[in-house]
Amino acid sequence: MSAARGTRVAGKLAFVTGAAQGLGAATARRLAEEGAKVTLADINIEGARRVADAINARWGPRNAFAVHLEVTSEAGWIEALNAADAAMGGISVLVNNAGISRGGDIETLSLEDWKLVMSVNVDSVFLGTKHALKYLRANQPGSIVNISSIAGLIAAHNTPVYNASKAAVWLLSKGIALHCAKQGVDVRSNSIHPTYIDTPILDPLRQRFGKDEAEAKLGRQVPLGHIGEPADIANAVLYLASDESKFMTGAEMKLDGGISAM
Ligand SMILES: NC(=O)c1ccc[n+]([C@@H]2O[C@H](COP(=O)([O-])OP(=O)(O)OC[C@H]3O[C@@H](n4cnc5c(N)ncnc54)[C@H](O)[C@@H]3O)[C@@H](O)[C@H]2O)c1
């Protein structure tokens, strides 16, 4: 028999974007393991449903729900949040996790890719927060967790749009925190900054160099010597979603194996 369900986020009602796979799926599973109800939102609705079904199979029906969401669509956000609110009986945690990357340096990157990445990575946080706040306000204490990247704090020569978009998420998270504090609303907002984590987002590199070589190559850039696991990030989201972090807002958590210490 596996471990009993935890209670670190018991009673929390979480909405997680990009939850069909990778960090979003790991986060939804971890929050559910610690007592939260979760809505898994993704453009890949089949994938989101599979993860939600697995959570419900583990913890019982109506612990997890799946909704279709294109995070760049304002109408999509309004509809998905409304559906999540009805399904869970409220929303108290928003995890803005969906994100993408496109290669190309400042001279070779196309305007089309620039706009796409800025839209998926930044418009998403703006729209999601703008429309989720009324639900979070109604279910205080609330928490917004934005998945930025260590690439939002440290630049590289060949990832300008990923750097710029994740830096925008970093400061946007702080502005949201100050807005809520100023309004006297108990909704906190923080950002998480991972380095390379073992998810499908690394597949293009794995295809280019082979799985072992790609992961070893990335691991050599990390002082701890290896890439991270999805659970490393899910545990950080769990902390920020829970009341254990009740005095933390407008802050950032770097989960980068020591990269930013160099
Ligand atoms: N894995 C890493 O190495 C790493 C490192 C730093 C930051 N991040 C960030 O973490 C987040 C999650 O990354 P991941 O590694 O799990 O990626 P992933 O590619 O494995 O999963 C991303 C998920 O987001 C969904 N998605 C993509 N575009 C969407 C859209 N427009 N609307 C709705 N859903 C959409 C995808 O369908 C997918 O389920 C991203 O914001 C990413 O930038 C990842």
Residue 23 near residue 233 (C-beta atoms within 8 A): yes
Whether the model clears a pTM of 0.75, i.e. scores above it, the answer is yes
Residue 39 near residue 15 (C-beta atoms within 8 A): yes
pLDDT digits (tens, 9 = 90+) for 122-133: 999 999 999 999
As given in the structure block, the two tokens for residue 24 are 């979003």
Residue 215: how many other CB atoms lie within 10 Å = 18
| Pocket mutation for ligand 1, best pick of 100, 232, 253 (most atoms within 8 Å of C-beta) | 100
pLDDT digits (tens, 9 = 90+) for 106-154: 999 999 999 999 999 999 999 999 999 999 999 999 999 999 999 999 9
- Residue of 94, 119, 115 lying closest to 104 (CA atoms): 115
pLDDT at 1: 43
Strands 37-42 and 64-68: parallel
Rounded to the nearest whole angstrom, what is the distance from the C-alpha of residue 141 to the centroid of ligand 1? Answer: 26
Rounded to the nearest whole angstrom, what is the distance from the C-alpha of residue 166 to the centroid of ligand 1? Answer: 12
Rounded to whole angstroms, how far apart are CA atoms 9 and 81?
Answer: 20
pLDDT at 222: 98
Biggest CA–CA distance in the chain, Å, is 56
Exposure letters 24-35 (e unless 16+ CB within 10 A, then b): bbbbbbbbbbbb
Closest ligand 1 atom to Cα of 166 = 43
Any ligand 1 atom below 6 A from CB of 22: yes
Active site residues: 162
**Res. 169: pLDDT tops 90:** yes
**195: Cβ contacts below 8 Å, ≥ 6 apart:** 149, 150, 221, 222, 227, 228, 255, 256, 257, 259
> Does the bond joining 141 to the residue before it have cis omega, within 30 degrees of 0?
yes
Residue 258 near residue 223 (C-beta atoms within 8 A): yes
Task: State which fold the 13-199+227-257 domain adopts.
Answer: Rossmann fold (3.40.50)
Any ligand 1 atom below 6 A from CB of 191: no
pLDDT at 2: 62
pLDDT digits (tens, 9 = 90+) for 65-105: 999 999 999 999 999 999 999 999 999 999 999 999 999 99
Closest ligand 1 atom to Cα of 197 = 3
Rounded to the nearest whole angstrom, what is the distance from the C-alpha of residue 1 to the centroid of ligand 1? Answer: 32
Residue nearest to atom 41 of ligand 1 (CA): 99
